[in-house]
Amino acid sequence: MDIELTWQEAKARTQAMELEIANSIPADKVATVDQLPTGAVIDCSDTLVNWHGATTVTLTAGTEPEPLVRAIQAKYKDSRFTIKIRDPAPAGHYEVQLRSPDTAEMYIIGAGGDPGTIRIASGSVCFAWVDDGKYKRGKF
């Protein structure tokens, strides 16, 4: 755990990884990449929190998400992440979770809520919450 991070640093690192995953999809299959500008801070424990956000990749017409999600799974097979597969996930589609074995960092990749999309939901490593007067349950 990197408890010395600020929420801004945790957000920046996590959003960069969301975009790395999105950019691994072949460009000819991608219409748009939309990263949420804000996310939420959620408790990891009594003293630690992590930042959560998401990016949606809209695919070109006629492109199916599942083969691309499987390609992302293959890309990260021998990476710093462990891989968990949910087939089907509760929403009924194939889903890959990239999880750090050492921290709470994770990325959930699967078909999005809209047809022809892939959603990359994220959670940063846990870090200590510094009470700088900002309400912890706000948007970050």
The Cα 99–Cα 117 span in angstroms is 22
Four-CA torsion 14, 110, 81, 105, nearest 10 degrees = 40
The mean pLDDT of the chain is: 93
The length of the chain is 140
Straight-line distance from the first to the last Cα atom of the chain, in angstroms, rounded to the nearest whole number: 20
Q: Give per-residue pLDDT as tens, 33-91.
A: 999 999 999 999 888 999 999 999 999 999 999 999 999 999 999 999 999 999 988 88
Q: What is the pLDDT of residue 129?
A: 87
Q: Check residues 91 and 18 and name the one with the higher pLDDT.
A: 18
Look at residue 124 and tell me whether its pLDDT is greater than 80: yes
Look at residue 131 and tell me whether its pLDDT is greater than 90: no
Across 4-29, average pLDDT: 96
Amino acid at 137: R
The Cα 97–Cα 81 span in angstroms is 9
Share of the chain above pLDDT 90, in %: 78
Predicted structure pTM score: 0.93
Share of the chain above pLDDT 70, in %: 95
Q: How far is CA 2 from the centre of its chain?
A: 18
Q: Would you list the domain boundaries of the chain?
A: 7-128
Q: Is the peptide bond before 90 cis (omega within 30 degrees of 0)?
A: no
For 35, other C-beta atoms within 10 Å of its C-beta total 16
